[in-house]
Structure 1
Amino acid sequence: MSDDHKALSPAPHNEPPLRGFHAPPRPRPCLVRPRGAATGLAGAGVQRAVRESHAADRDELVAARKFAERALRMTLEVLDQRRPIGQLASVADGAVVSAMRTLIAGELAPGRALGVAVLARVAVTPVDARTAEVFAGYDRGGRRFALAGRIVHSRASGWRLTALRVR
């Protein structure tokens, strides 16, 4: 054997690459532009965060709508004197209860002679994270009347009816 061909060859790599076989080389930070800056598209992480925040907003809006329906139905029952006014205090602030007391005492409920008030439609529009505007229609006899109000959410008491207008 000759000494000419006794060279050593490098050992084979036994570990996989760090970033996977098909991963492109990591770009240098000074040359990278934020993803979507030129095209207006957001990355998957941003899209997921937006979806999750909107889902939370949707859940809060559903809860606000359910509360508004319950509170306005109770308000109409109090106006028709089918429910005692003291029960309204569980969902409404003192100013709203006082105004309702005045409407009942003065027989000022709109269209009361037409029959029982039936809640027809309720809509809730968020103002900010803890406040929403509420508007609704209700029927008496063959006529449609309107309600509008504001609900506010607090950690201590949940949703509360803080303002009300009956037409």
Structure 2
Amino acid sequence: MKFRTLSLTVAALLALSACKPEEAAQAPGASAASAAPSPASATAETPAAETASAPADIPLGGNLGTAKDAAWQSYQCDEGKTLDARYYRETDEPIAEVRFDGQTLTLPYNGEYSNEDLTAFGNGTYTWTIGNQYQSDFYKEDNGFLVRHEQQKVDGETLPVDEIVMKNCLPA
């Protein structure tokens, strides 16, 4: 079915975006875990700070302030699209506020869609996802993409459909 294929395509895009370039280029059947460099294998070309997770005493996103102090970051995305995002903390979990096409979305951190490669913020209708290379500074992260989640009825069956609104977003 067209919609089921679209949902599977989006799921595949989400999975591929989580891969590092060397993992995406692996031959089929090779495990991603075997391709991921261990912290001990970090070379002089890749600073250890970029390959390691944030220290335990630095919260995800670093020391974010409140909304009134949060700066907006512009992102340039595929197809000439742009969006702005800012990150702040009103509680223990970080929040992303995203502006695009005349809309402003407030998206709390979503641990279910986040992993070691991606940090996701979502409200059930939209999800803004960024890379997770610099866990202590969201403003440096790239590989951003915005997805709208919908339910559509096809042949009497309600199916989830995810539409990629913007992809390949880089800090401008």
TM-score, length-scaled by structure 2:
0.26
Which entry has the higher C-alpha Rg, 1 or 2? 1
Whose relative contact order is higher, 1 or 2, with alpha carbons under 8 Å and at least 6 apart? 2
Please identify which structure carries the higher helix content. Answer: 1
TM-score, length-scaled by structure 1:
0.26
